[in-house]
Amino acid sequence: MTRLVIEGCAIATVDGERTEHADGHIVVRHGYLDEIGAGPAPVSDEEEVRIDGRGMLATPGLVNCHHHLYQWATRGLAQDNTLFEWLQELYPVWAYVDAAIEQAAARAGLVALARSGCTTASDHHYLFPRDAGDLLAVEIEAAREVGLRFHPCRGSMDLGRSAGGLPPDEVTEDRDAILAACEAAIDEFHDPSPDAMVRIALAPCSPFSVTQDLMRESAELARARGVRLHTHMAETEDEERFCIELFGCRPVEYLERLGWLGDDVWLAHCVHLDEQEVRRFGETGTGVAHCPSSNARLGAGIAPVPALVRAGAPVGLGVDGAASNEAGELGGELRQALLVARLAGHGPRALTAREALELGTIHGARCLGREAEIGSLEHGKLADVALWRLDGLDRAGIADPVAALVLGARPLVDTLLVGGRVVVSGGELRTFDEGVAARDLLAQSRRLASRARKVPDPFLAGGGGS
């Protein structure tokens, strides 16, 4: 048996006691964390692989709770629009996403997540244009290639414009077909075992793109099959007005009526909540995927994160789709979450650097139902570990390692382990060629743009690719 030993690093375990070591060790066996403690690792005559952790901070791998990987192919559009304007500009482009575009976008998005310290990623995929191929299978394969633990959500839209919804009819699906595809995704991909690399969730898209029947039936199906539920909620004031007009109540009450609050549910955004709604999240254990950069990009508002955490709700972090957060990196969301919480009017004690790290790790694990397996560095958990350099110009001398990670410059990992497997080392991705990912993304982004404008592909026509 080969053990993997990391020594000489600062460690923020994010365990129940929030144990930290200024200089400690981590020992990994069979993909699980075996020993974590101060000083050097206990001596052993086993065969071992050693990682020199000097000058670095070890944290649990970050958990991304909300994303739309396909949007990597449509970055930089609708830059100054509200959510509804942005969606109406992008839906007609997204209608042309196919398997090759999905593959390039998913690979690029997952590479960006890995480099920024993410070991477990969720993706909310609700776009299934006719004849586009099995886009869910394509992104699952991309996650396998990059080497991340993956929680793809089989999303859906069945409320088109002709029935009072926001999306054009051509990007919606038939309800029976959606439910059959959800069942098939669970049968084919969902792995309930503790070290699972893939787990499925069901995720109708949003109140303004999904019928009440589909919301209800998705919840019934998810509970019958033991998978989790996810959707967008209370992202903007436009959405609130839409719900009051169409359903006669605010978004949270709408969800509660449909059986959508509970500890098997996590919801993206939750920006516009009143005090009583925050309390209901805590009482029911409903999770929140906080996406501070995307909310800022769309000018949607700031989620009441400190109040949600005080109420007892799990609050994980998400980058959201790259069409509303072009960076798509999770490490930077730690800083963003801290800054917006303080700016929201609650002052400098609203969220500490350590609390921001908790959102990105153990809270994210709770959102995905995996707090027994990931989210902290403890004996018996999966060896999902991020090592961050503290001795480069961008962090050298910052008095506290956790502050260096959260408050310092854009954090990229030096080393990333997923189940003890090295995915990043020396700051370089070891599983997939980043240059290939970038070239494919450029080619497929251009191809999508020309498909949507119904003009010849610039590469096939030889006019614009280089």
- The least CB distance from residue 159 to Zn ion, in Å, is 17
Alpha-carbon gap, residue 49 to 46, rounded angstroms: 10
Residues 38-97 that bind Zn ion (CB under 5 A): none
Closest CA relative to residue 221, chosen from 178, 267, 183: 183
Answer yes or no: are the C-beta atoms of 7 and 38 closer than 8 Å: no
Considering only the stretches 168-176, 183-191, 314-322, 422-430, report the one whose residues sit in contact with Zn ion under the rule CB under 5 A: 314-322
Answer yes or no: are the C-beta atoms of 205 and 157 closer than 8 Å: yes
- The least CB distance from residue 420 to Zn ion, in Å, is 31
Strand partners, 424: 416, 429
- The least CB distance from residue 98 to Zn ion, in Å, is 21
Nearer to Zn ion, 368 or 387 (CB): 368
Site string for Zn ion, 178-217 (x = CB under 5 A): ----------------------------------------
Tell me the three state secondary structure of residue 26: strand
| Count of residues in contact with Zn ion, rule CB under 5 A | 1
Considering only the stretches 138-146, 273-281, 302-310, 312-320, report the one whose residues sit in contact with Zn ion under the rule CB under 5 A: 312-320
Closest CA relative to residue 169, chosen from 177, 158, 180, 155: 158
Residue number with the smallest Cβ distance to Zn ion: 320
Contacts of 107 (CB under 8 A, 6+ apart): 142, 145, 146, 432, 437, 440, 441
- The least CB distance from residue 419 to Zn ion, in Å, is 27
Closest CA relative to residue 59, chosen from 356, 366, 444, 459: 356
Nearer to Zn ion, 139 or 320 (CB): 320
Report how far apart, in Å, the C-alpha atoms of 122 and of each of 27, 154, 383 are: 27, 11, 18
DSSP string across 233-265: ES--HHHHHHHHHHHSS-HHHHHHHTT--STTE
- The least CB distance from residue 378 to Zn ion, in Å, is 31
Place of tokens 């649990």: 60
- The least CB distance from residue 285 to Zn ion, in Å, is 22
Answer yes or no: are the C-beta atoms of 465 and 442 closer than 8 Å: no
Alpha-carbon gap, residue 196 to 141, rounded angstroms: 15
Alpha-carbon gap, residue 266 to 370, rounded angstroms: 13
Nearer to Zn ion, 236 or 376 (CB): 236
- The least CB distance from residue 101 to Zn ion, in Å, is 18
Alpha-carbon gap, residue 257 to 228, rounded angstroms: 18
Nearer to Zn ion, 217 or 320 (CB): 320
Nearer to Zn ion, 150 or 388 (CB): 150
Nearer to Zn ion, 136 or 413 (CB): 136
Nearer to Zn ion, 298 or 334 (CB): 298
Considering only the stretches 57-65, 318-326, 353-361, 429-437, report the one whose residues sit in contact with Zn ion under the rule CB under 5 A: 318-326
Residues 413-442 that bind Zn ion (CB under 5 A): none
Considering only the stretches 74-82, 316-324, 371-379, 425-433, report the one whose residues sit in contact with Zn ion under the rule CB under 5 A: 316-324
- The least CB distance from residue 392 to Zn ion, in Å, is 33
Nearer to Zn ion, 232 or 389 (CB): 232
Considering only the stretches 22-30, 38-46, 308-316, 320-328, report the one whose residues sit in contact with Zn ion under the rule CB under 5 A: 320-328
Tell me the three state secondary structure of residue 72: helix
Report how far apart, in Å, the C-alpha atoms of 32 and of each of 115, 131, 224, 413 are: 21, 41, 31, 20
Residue 341 exposed, middle or buried by CB count within 10 Å (0-12, 13-18, 19+): buried
- The least CB distance from residue 236 to Zn ion, in Å, is 12
Considering only the stretches 90-98, 173-181, 315-323, 368-376, report the one whose residues sit in contact with Zn ion under the rule CB under 5 A: 315-323
Nearer to Zn ion, 36 or 214 (CB): 214
Tell me the three state secondary structure of residue 203: strand
Nearer to Zn ion, 120 or 294 (CB): 294
Residues 269-308 that bind Zn ion (CB under 5 A): none
- The least CB distance from residue 34 to Zn ion, in Å, is 37
Nearer to Zn ion, 173 or 320 (CB): 320
- The least CB distance from residue 327 to Zn ion, in Å, is 15
Considering only the stretches 15-23, 214-222, 313-321, 329-337, report the one whose residues sit in contact with Zn ion under the rule CB under 5 A: 313-321
Answer yes or no: are the C-beta atoms of 218 and 156 closer than 8 Å: yes
Query: In the numeric block, which tokens belong to residue 356?
Result: 């921001």
Considering only the stretches 174-182, 304-312, 317-325, 378-386, report the one whose residues sit in contact with Zn ion under the rule CB under 5 A: 317-325
**Interaction site with Zn ion (CB under 5 A):** 320
